[in-house]
Structure 1
Amino acid sequence: MYDSVTAEAGLAEELASVRPGLLPRYRAALPGARAAVLTRLWRALAYEPLPWISRRTGSGHGLVLRLADGRDLAGPPADPYATAGYVTSVRLGRERYDDPARLMTDLAVPHAAGFAAELAHSTASLALSRAGADPARSRPERDWEWEQRVTDGHPYHPNCRSRPGFSVADQLAYAPEHASVVELGTVPVAAERCLLSGEWPDELRYGGRLLLPVHPWQADHVLKRPYDPWRSAHPLMSLRTLALPGGPHVKTALSARLTSSVRDISRYSVEVAAALSEFATDLAGRTGGLLHITRTLGAVTAHSPDLAALLREPPAAYAGPGERVLPVAALPGTGLPGSPAWLAAFARLALTVGLRLLDLGVALEAHGQNLLVITSADGTPLRLVYRDLADIRISPARLTRHGVTPPPLTGRLVTDDETALRRKLFGSLVAGALAGTAGSAPALGAALAAALPALPDTPDLAVLREGPLPAKALTLMRLSPETPGDQWTALPNPLVLEPGTRDQ
């Protein structure tokens, strides 16, 4: 049986040996961490197409899920766009559950045991993240310090802080929320044995060899080989991408499962990096200066996803005097989204850019980690910065219709499927970045209602206005490992949604 108590106790035992002074704050953070993970799980149970839920009956007082085996699971009304940990317990039959891992174990559905273990790890790691947050970082001055403020990870994934394979010492040493400084190394590889896209700096060349930056965790646990010390860097939200002070961001191969996926850098990503960066930078010029794309400077792989690296411009390069560049995931900690007028202005800016590019033929994966907003000194949203092109989608048919020559690319980035294109943008931007910033269905609906009248009336906008909102079915994906790729659900349109009133 998997429950959070066991995972929490195990983490506490490790913490006692490496950072005992953090134990009181860790223990104090545990109830909130359980509620945060349970809230994310309850959202999934309420809205994802899970095959073992036969009926959902909701009212203003609560939501009851009828399971295929006849049991009832009851909890509070489910707001699909809420980010606060408002679900403190649910009832399966007559028993009360405040532990998401124990609930998943007792649901006893296919693959529940493995997912329960992940939930337990996510809960304990989330408490550690919150405990390690430094209250003194209330006014960041550097770009990576904004990213260190994000303690909770993905706003809607129950595995928001699941980091299997990372010990407590690893998390304290490498995770951004612990204000870590990571000592990157390099591994030399003969140039003829590498695939290079773009330029590679002289600093990372030696004789006829290319020096590939490596994360120390990767070198120790995956490559299992020595490496040469290189430079100190600050980890960003993605954990495997780090900021070099005064220099570029370095995306390293880090073959660890974070939330849902094992992260690495594929040969395909390296192969298309330079052409993709040039194309996206040119296309951003069609947004009237509202969007900047961080250019990929160079990418290298030793023909292995476990040994590769990518150098990218820092987003701060696009900020003018007196301006700030804020990752969207960090916005809830700034106080800015508390203003309905600010939230509407931000939604209008983000949708103007996202819909313009989608109409042209490019769907951004504009979630809160990839998307940043440039604000004036008084907080007014001015422009956007987008980083990491690895999962955008490109439509040759749409590009051609607008007189834009499609880039010379093939593979998974290229599709003319209308549903796939809209899912990519709406699922990441509206159900992800904007929803996570708004924090609730009423706030998101109000921001969209204020923003939409100012947007160009395109077929994509009509779908956004009238239809349900696509979102990745993150829990379904973890409970159906035999099904590759993304799976999706349809969330109630936030423009008309009344939370908690959904029957199925």
Structure 2
Amino acid sequence: MDLNAAADAYAATPLLNCLLREAAEPAGGGVHRLRGSGRLLRVHGGRRPGRPELRTADGWRPLSHAELVKLTSDELGRFTGITNDELPVEIADSRDTIAALLTARRTARPPTDPYLLSEQSLVMGHPHHPAPKARGGAPAASWLPYAPEAHARFPLLFLGVREDQCAEEGGRAAADAVDSLADALDGPRAPAGYRLLPAHPWQLELVAARPAVREALGDGRLVRLGESRLPAWPTASIRTLYVPDDSADLFVKFSLDVRITNDVRRLWRHDLLKLRRTDAAVEAGFAALRRSGSRAAWLADRGYRTAGFAFEELAVLVRDGLRAHTAPGATPLLAAALAEGYPGSPLSATTDPAAWWRAYLREVVPPVLELFDRHGVVLEAHLQNTLVAVDAAGMPVQALFRDAEGVKLLPDLPRAAAWQRLVYCLVVNHLTEIADELATRHPESAPLLWPAAREEFLRYATTHHLPEITDLLTSPSLPGKTNLLLRWTHADGADARYIPLPNSLK
């Protein structure tokens, strides 16, 4: 398959998944009736659909990627009564991004570290988003040097923010963590009267010309100090970088004024101001888990630093690294990488997929249920916020969770809505994708996977009174997030809407 054909195939799969889930009905044999027009669309490939064909008077006509985008736009316009000129451009941008990534990956040097390799392996991305790889329509040359999928690694830029203009929260631990980046990456130090402010080079390119930043650079409230000599590594979220240094071992998360999937990925003021409350609640829950013998770990968001005159644009958040939290001898891997598949994945190497799956469930499911049940914490335990550590034989031995920004607390969110969010993230977005990938690689295991998952939920229910589990296991449906319709109807990125999907746990 040539590069353009491969890019079309990668881009078509998530778009088709969305279109078929949200705006079509199955008609048998890989054929689906589109709800907007009643036209018939045929696809091939099961969980990774491709090669779409439209039924015409002359038979089945193959659709190019551009034709599929046009068909999707026409169908959604008919189905919703709403027009949208932005999303088709975003979908095309996602496809072109994939083409640029595939080109770059031909000559890029992958990381040798298994964890970093997993973070940088997502070529397709979110399997149920219409434009998972869009980069804001910018030319590839502007973002490719910072793309994890292209195996990027790059130095941080260091700014100095005048002390009276510095805003931060998280106490001495967070401040020390930010300052430690200069040592870890061999970067410049802040001069007297200034605080060190690391910056993502792409973000600084995007905001440097804005009045608040430009004026601060002109009058000395903000100064450029230079770049680090050593690189940091972008993870799958693009704006979060890993610094795997002995003296730091940190993740650093930046604002990025680019729409990635549903949201512009900025560190919003309201999220930063509630960060410590949220993270403290999660840390308390995981501390209780550890006291009960659980191996599950939380990568805490320690705090942030920014400039008061550009609070969101220049914010940097520091998060715990891996070394202090990963079980001895285990290797953490990104769950999203396990679901998409990549060279070296333990899913392809396992000789006992049923045992592998049971071990995976045992590490991932109970902590999420326990945090909800005992502590009122709703982890956003989807594929990108979950790491699964495996032993030398590739068996799951620990789950690690991250991202306080996505965590919800009871009673801030009504209990029914909180449980729906938990089920979507954990079961639909996460377990379904891992199970499907395991069944694809090991078809003989397919009949065993969902009974084992049901058993894991029942096992928790036997020792804990969580009535929602009974409802989950008897409900005819699970909530599926409608990412295509959310983007088409211009909904807020945080506004989750769901449609019912068949319940594999029943």
* Pair in the same fold by TM > 0.5: yes
Take 1:343 and 1:301, find their aligned partners in 2: how far apart are those partners?
A: 43
Take 2:503 and 2:420, find their aligned partners in 1: how far apart are those partners?
A: 14
Take 1:373 and 1:253, find their aligned partners in 2: how far apart are those partners?
A: 26
Equivalent in the alignment of 1:102: 70
- Per-residue displacement from partner, 1:445-488 (whole Å, max 9, x unpaired)? 74232132243123222233222121321000110015662222
1:88 aligns with 2:51: yes
Identify unmatched segments of 5+ residues in structure 2: 181-188, 218-223, 441-445
Take 1:164 and 1:319, find their aligned partners in 2: how far apart are those partners?
A: 35
Equivalent in the alignment of 1:157: 129
**1:138 Cα deviation after fit:** 7.6
452, 465, 469: which one pairs with 1:461? 469
Take 1:280 and 1:340, find their aligned partners in 2: how far apart are those partners?
A: 31
Take 1:192 and 1:139, find their aligned partners in 2: how far apart are those partners?
A: 40
- Per-residue displacement from partner, 1:267-317 (whole Å, max 9, x unpaired)? 222223333333212211233323111122331233422120101111243
Equivalent in the alignment of 1:346: 360
Take 1:434 and 1:445, find their aligned partners in 2: how far apart are those partners?
A: 15
Take 1:137 and 1:343, find their aligned partners in 2: how far apart are those partners?
A: 31
- Per-residue displacement from partner, 1:106-145 (whole Å, max 9, x unpaired)? 4471334321111111112123323433699788326323
Size of the aligned set, in residue pairs, is 441
Equivalent in the alignment of 2:263: 261
Equivalent in the alignment of 1:242: 241
200, 206, 229: which one pairs with 2:226? 229
Take 2:323 and 2:123, find their aligned partners in 1: how far apart are those partners?
A: 21
Q: Between the two structures, name the one with larger relative contact order (CA 8 Å, sep ≥ 6).
A: 1
Counterpart contact for 1:345–1:451, Cα < 8 Å: no
Take 2:62 and 2:428, find their aligned partners in 1: how far apart are those partners?
A: 30
Equivalent in the alignment of 2:93: 121
Q: Provide closer, same or farther for how the CA distance between residues 452 and 277 of structure 1 changes in structure 2, counting only shifts above 3 A.
A: same
Q: Provide closer, same or farther for how the CA distance between residues 435 and 337 of structure 1 changes in structure 2, counting only shifts above 3 A.
A: farther
**1:258 Cα deviation after fit:** 0.9
Equivalent in the alignment of 2:295: 290
235-244 vs 95-104, greater mean Cα deviation: 95-104
Equivalent in the alignment of 1:389: 404
Equivalent in the alignment of 2:484: 475
Counterpart contact for 2:43–2:51, Cα < 8 Å: no
**1:170 Cα deviation after fit:** 2.6
Amino acid at match of 2:284: D
Q: Provide closer, same or farther for how the CA distance between residues 190 and 354 of structure 1 changes in structure 2, counting only shifts above 3 A.
A: same
Q: How does 1:166-205 map to 2 (within 5 A)?
A: 166-198=138-170, 199-201=174-176, 202-203=179-180
Counterpart contact for 2:486–2:497, Cα < 8 Å: yes
Counterpart contact for 1:90–1:98, Cα < 8 Å: no
Take 1:32 and 1:345, find their aligned partners in 2: how far apart are those partners?
A: 34
39, 42, 50: which one pairs with 2:13? 39
Identify unmatched segments of 5+ residues in structure 1: 1-26, 397-413, 497-504
**1:78 Cα deviation after fit:** 9.2
Take 1:445 and 1:388, find their aligned partners in 2: how far apart are those partners?
A: 34
Q: Percent identity?
A: 27
1:220 aligns with 2:220: no
Amino acid at match of 2:240: T
Counterpart contact for 1:174–1:235, Cα < 8 Å: yes
Q: Provide closer, same or farther for how the CA distance between residues 211 and 483 of structure 1 changes in structure 2, counting only shifts above 3 A.
A: closer
Counterpart contact for 2:13–2:127, Cα < 8 Å: no
Equivalent in the alignment of 2:389: 374
Counterpart contact for 1:470–1:489, Cα < 8 Å: yes
Give the secondary-structure state (helix, strand or coil) at the position aligned to 1:379: coil
**1:395 Cα deviation after fit:** 1.0
1:313 aligns with 2:320: yes
Normalised to the residue count of structure 1, the TM-score between the two structures is 0.80
Equivalent in the alignment of 1:423: 420
Give the secondary-structure state (helix, strand or coil) at the position aligned to 1:422: helix
Take 1:189 and 1:350, find their aligned partners in 2: how far apart are those partners?
A: 41
Q: CA RMSD in A?
A: 2.8
1:251 aligns with 2:265: no
- Per-residue displacement from partner, 1:129-165 (whole Å, max 9, x unpaired)? 2343369978832632321122222122121111124
Give the secondary-structure state (helix, strand or coil) at the position aligned to 1:330: helix
